[in-house]
Chains A and B, each alone.
Chain A
Amino acid sequence: MSTVTGSSTGSSKESKGWQGVSDDWGGEIEAFRDVPWGKAMMWIFLLSDTFIFSCFLVSYMTVRMSTTVDWPLTSEVFALTVNGVHVPLLLIAIMTFILITSSGTMAMAVNYGYRRDKKKTFWLMLVTAILGASFVGMQAFEWSKLIEEGVRPWGNPMGAAQFGAAFFMITGFHGLHVSIGVIYLLVVAFKVKRGDYDDTGFEIVEITGLYWHFVDLVWVFIFAFFYLW
């Protein structure tokens, strides 16, 4: 790769396994070989963001355990009645399915991006953004339904006041992430189409994808800890 200048700067040939890790971290210029700056920065940001969501979720679990009033039965609160059939967690199941599907289309977009197939990349990113937007839309529906039923951040008829507080705060913060992701996807998609990355390469699609998969992964944890518990 680059010129080896220092006396102790590892050998120029690529080693495998632990020796490779050691060479990378002991080497000059960069610890992650051939990783663009934006990608490294996104990973570090996501690590930091992981701590934010972890703190939110741990705080939610703490207040849920410390509150003296019973927690509402989530499978009932989040149930929908369709055609007279009472289905627990129906909407959340659909939302989860949509968000995970959007991760699939995003992964395909990354693949086509690296193949420099701009058209397919653009459309797949657009589909991802639409799926994301529909997730936010359904979340808005769910919020309005709960608000109609009297759930407020400061109290609710079903049980502990912290239920509404934690629900609106955590899903709101996640929904904000999804909304930002949708805008981010649209911007990058149109720039891909316009040819802004023809010279610099299509890593930006992967970087966008990293963010999107992260938002998706966080939802899995929110789903597990908030809705299924």
Chain B
Amino acid sequence: MAYVHDAEKEALHQPHSFWSKYVWSQDHKVIAIQYSLIAIFAGIIALVLSAMMRMQIGFPGSLEFMDANTYYQAMTMHGMIMVIYLLTALFLGGFGNYMIPLMVGARDMVFPFVNMLSVWFYFLSVIILLASFFVPGGPTGAGWTLYPPQAITAGTPGMEWGIILMLVSLLVFIIAATMGGLNYVTTVIQARTYGMTLLRMPLTVWGIFMATILALLAFPALFVSGVMMLLDRTIGTSFFMPEMISMGQQTDYDGGSPILFQHLFWFFGHPEVYIVALPAFGMISDILSVHSRKKVFGYKMMVWAIVAIGVLSFIVWAHHMYVSGMNPYFGFFFATTTLIIAVPTAIKVYNWVLTLWKGDIHMTVPLLFAVAFIFTFLAGGLTGLFLGNVIVDIPLSDTYFVVAHFHMVMGVAPVLVVFGSIYHWFPKITGRMMNDKIGMWHFWITFLGTYAIYFPMHYLGILGMPRRYYDSTAYEFIPQSAHDLNAFITIAALIVGAAQVLFIYNMIHSAFKGKESGPNPWNAASLEWQTPQTPPVHGNWGEKLPVVHRWPYDYSVPGVKEDFVPQNVSEQELEANKVKL
């Protein structure tokens, strides 16, 4: 079928065997769950790696196997897994796959087979990445930015095989993300249901949609830099490698440009921040609206802010390279564009707060996570204004201030959204509620704990404590108070890390033993809660596609029996249902 109009005529291919239902499934919901489980699995590995690093920073020498090489390998893998294999895959492949067809009223993605290939390519890329733990020399320790020449020069851990596997894995991931991304974008543009206009889509879809466009246009730069570095490493081209002496030996490289890699990497790397952040923005807007029983404040402005942030994110990349050296006019340009991004972002933060303003706020676990996101994102965003200025960035660059900034803004903040969204949409996905009490514990430990971890890091950074140092005890300029603070941060990090067991347990336990939720436990108005079955079955909508009559934020409507009006309720039905005043 090539058009929505055919969706009601053609019979669905119902999968029957176990394999076609759960393994080689072409159903967007199963694919979404496959994506999410692989991503969470990868994320747990990255979490363990971060705990190991924190042990070394807080209590140097406490882990016997942790030498400098292992430390850098753990750091590199932690960063890469968290940014690409967890957050990008979970937001686009996981939530994108699950939410887009349900929220726009489609039967499935437009090309389910390509969608299936996407998840298996993603799986392959994770396998290749994890294989690097088992090859001679171990995974690459080049730092997640993989800057050459250091990344492929002798002496860097994982230079033998780790870096090759890392680059191949990234290339495979990009192919997977492209196949998925084409599906998401085409589904949003061409396969919405009757009455579903672009400005009636929930902000979740808008965020994922824009993030996917960013992914389709930004990943090419990573693809190209990956291919070129792979050629440099394997057959000895000199794209990124200058003429240099390594370990007393003249290398075979000659005349390449290491700065070129940085430009390519950050042309991908900066939009990547918003690939992670925009879906989070969208999902948080929906959660706030549902749980405070209010329309999203300034819906159209929210949409335009998402679009504006997406466009601007392509012209700010060199603010990651102020210390690499560049023409001062470029520094001025990139600082200006960077600060301009604060405008649409601030619009969003104001609108979130105004959505809560005078709302009928239900203190549910998803709402708590959503509010926590606003706090965390605000704190991380404000330090971004510091770092966006060239003269403030240069002394703070490569200190813990930067670590604190990006962990708050694109680490913790999106992860809080992931948690909140799982608590919010879990009833739709499984038909069961997650346990509230465990959820509350999980929330408070995670929220307060992450502040305990990252807030002191700002102070460490202003003290001048450099990031990426394997052992900071040997330097006189780092005072004892910094070491004490590091020990405190490590303890907080271990507690937060361990607390995630609560979440995993809650998810697994609730999936089988949780309280039955019914189709719409939060009384939400958007389309995904109006499916005829919960959890939705193959084809999502039964015989007829739903018809949409309104936007997804009709909450606290006066005069109706419940306080909300679902998107697929028409004016006539609404009139009939109205309580006579």
Contact = CB atoms under 8 A, between A and B. Distances in A.
Contacts of B191: 29-30, 37
Contacts of B110: 37, 41
Contacts of B294: none
A31 B236 contact: no
B231 A36 contact: no
A40 B224 contact: no
Interface string A16-47: 00000000011111111011111011001101
Interface stretch (A50-58, A96-104, A213-221): A50-58
B4 interface: yes
A146 interface: no
B2 A36 contact: yes
Contact of A29 (B183, B194, B237): B194
Nearest to A200: B2
Given A26-B198, A44-B185, A154 B252 contact: yes
A173 B395 CA distance: 42
B192 A162 contact: no
B106 to A, nearest CB: 10
In this complex, the interface size class of chain B, counting residues with CB under 8 Å from chain A, is 35 or more
A8 B267 CA distance: 39
B481 to A, nearest CB: 45
B190 A162 contact: no
Contacts of B471: none
Contacts of A29: 4, 190-194, 196
Interface stretch (A61-69, A109-117, A121-129, A177-185): A61-69
A62 B264 CA distance: 11
A59 B228 contact: yes
A40 B267 CA distance: 26
Interface string B330-343: 00000000000000
Contacts, number: 163
A153 B183 CA distance: 36
B192 A153 contact: no
A203 interface: yes
B448 interface: no
Nearest to A48: B216
Contact of B194 (A3, A26, A154, A200): A3
A30 B239 contact: no
A30 B216 contact: no
A7 interface: yes
Given A48-B216, A63-B239, A67-B255, A7 B224 contact: no
B220 A51 contact: yes
Which of A41, A48, A51, A54 is the most central at the interface, judged by chain B CB atoms within 10 Å of its CB?
Answer: A48
Interface string B215-252: 01111110111011001000111110000000000001
Interface string A151-174: 001110000111011100100010
A6 interface: yes
Interface of B: 2-5, 110-111, 178, 181-183, 185-186, 189-200, 216-221, 223-225, 227-228, 231, 235-239, 252, 254-257, 260, 263-264, 267, 547-550, 570-571
Interface of A: 2-3, 5-9, 25-32, 34-38, 40-41, 44-45, 47-49, 51-52, 54-56, 59, 62-63, 66-69, 153-155, 160-162, 164-166, 169, 173, 200-201, 203
